Chains A and B, each alone.
Chain A
Amino acid sequence: MEYNKVCFMYRAKDSANDGIRSALGLAVENMYSYGVVLDDVTMDKIDENLTESIEMLRDMEGEIYSTNPANCELNGLEPITIEELGEKLRDMTHVIPYGIKK
């Protein structure tokens, strides 16, 4: 069986917080699910609930990345470059530019 691989991308702070939950929602549906917080977004320190969501996502072989090193440092996200992200998107069955762009 071929599993779906889905990548969400976020370009606004609110979209990132909610979109991470949407990514988790697909992981529990048995899909490989990833999220990427793009450069435009400087995140606040994430709360306990969201931290828990990211940990659950990782338990299901998903991951949350960011192209912005400040987000990686503050919230323990995996660093990714825009070029690496582009290559990753080629491997996805579904690519979701999530929410609004600010």
Chain B
Amino acid sequence: MAKSLGIFVTNPEQFKHVMGITKAAKAKGSKVKVFFTWDATHNAKKEPGFKDLCELADDVSICVDSYAKQGYDIKDIPAGLDEKKMATQAQHGIIIEDYDCYLSL
């Protein structure tokens, strides 16, 4: 059984790596959770591959407070997410507590 992997994304320039690592981990049978915060929430609106990431990973969410601070309307939910995935920093806590491996990007 492959280990599970949680990825905490704080840098908007790392999306390529988020995708690459998620794809590789899923190919090994890993459960993958990704949480985007602060200006990395731009990825949800600006990266064409964001919806694909949501389909590929087991769980993708963003910090709704950060998203609002970056100037987005919180009712404008990015493609691939739903209202429940517009979340809080508690998602980061879940990654640390419940996943075997941790990576920040």
Contacts and interface: CB of A to CB of B under 8 A. Distances in A.
A21 B92 CA distance: 12
Interface stretch (B18-26, B47-55, B96-104): B96-104
B30 interface: no
B97 A22 contact: no
Contacts, number: 54
Interface in A37-64: none
B96 A18 contact: no
A94 B101 CA distance: 10
A94 B96 contact: yes
B38 A99 contact: yes
A6 interface: yes
Contacts of B12: 100
B39 A14 contact: yes
Interface string B38-71: 1100000000000000000000000000100100
A6 B96 CA distance: 9
B75 to A, nearest CB: 22
20 contacts: A6-B96, A14-B38, A15-B10, A18-B38, A18-B66, A25-B90, A26-B89, A26-B92, A29-B89, A29-B92, A29-B93, A29-B96, A31-B93, A94-B102, A97-B104, A99-B10, A99-B11, A99-B39, A100-B11, A100-B12
